[in-house]
Amino acid sequence: MAVTDETPRTLDCGRTVEELSDYLAADRTPRDAHIETCPECLNALQGLERVSRLSREMLAQDVEDLPPAPETWIRGILANIQNEVRAGRPLPLSHPDPRVNLSVTEGAVRALIRSVGDEIPGLVVGRCSLNGDVEDPGAPVTVTITASVAWGRPVAALTALLREHVLEALRRHTELNVTAIDVEIQDVHVDSEEEGPR
């Protein structure tokens, strides 16, 4: 049998490196008596801890070596915040009584999209925009979202999850005819949840 990246690396005691990695990631809880008494497992855990520590140190050093953010970048963030808090265009909502005019603002929909993204661990939404004639009921609309993904997280899985959750929220809270949700990953960040105690 050929050894590939998909082949589990099994120790002589029968445990896999992936199992040990998961156990370590869970902060060695709940306690596994076999792992905690098996010399081979303990040796592998030591190696995994060492690699993890070195990876964090290298990442911290890389962050220290980065130049400070240019002032134009900061101005861009402030401009984006100012742009996204605007109410924007009204998106009509239907009502059985023709005398009633209901709408939700474009800004509220952008806030909805951002809140959906905030619920996905390892993902930070940057900008979001609604492209198309959102004021015309039934007109095709595309949603564009920029985001940052936490280092080591599966990009394809997170973007698919974001698309799915955003589409579900838009269908539930608006009457937009969403034809596409374009997600552009523009950056990778260190996940703050992984920095603190687990």
**pLDDT per position as a tens digit, 78-91:** 566 555 556 788 88
The residues near 127 (Cβ < 8 Å, ≥ 6 apart) are 80, 84, 144, 145, 146
Tokens of 63: 């962050």
Residue 3 has pLDDT above 70, yes or no: no
Helix (H) or strand (E) holding 180: strand 177-189
**pLDDT per position as a tens digit, 102-144:** 888 888 898 889 889 989 998 988 888 999 999 999 999 999 9
Helix (H) or strand (E) holding 162: helix 155-173
Tokens of 51: 């690699």
- Are the C-beta atoms of residues 178 and 141 closer than 8 Å to each other? yes
Q: Among 28-37, 40-49, 88-97, 100-109, which range has the highest average pLDDT? A: 28-37
Residues 60 and 73: their CA atoms lie apart, in Å, by 22
Residue matched to tokens 């969403």: 178
Q: Cβ-count burial of 100 within 10 angstroms (0-12 exposed, 13-18 middle, 19+ buried)?
A: exposed
Residue 99 has pLDDT above 80, yes or no: yes
- Amino acid sitting at position 169: A
Residue 188 has pLDDT above 80, yes or no: yes
What is the predicted pLDDT for the residue at 132? 94
**pLDDT per position as a tens digit, 42-89:** 888 887 887 777 777 777 776 677 666 566 656 665 566 555 556 788
Look at 163 and 112; give whichever has higher pLDDT: 163
Residues 37 and 30: their CA atoms lie apart, in Å, by 14
Tokens of 131: 């492209």
pLDDT bucket at 31, cuts 50 / 70 / 90? very high
Tokens of 152: 């080591």
Q: Cβ-count burial of 107 within 10 angstroms (0-12 exposed, 13-18 middle, 19+ buried)?
A: middle
Residues 149-168 have a mean pLDDT of: 94
Residues 133 and 118: their CA atoms lie apart, in Å, by 27
Mean pLDDT rounded to a whole number for the chain: 82
The residues near 121 (Cβ < 8 Å, ≥ 6 apart) are 150, 191, 193
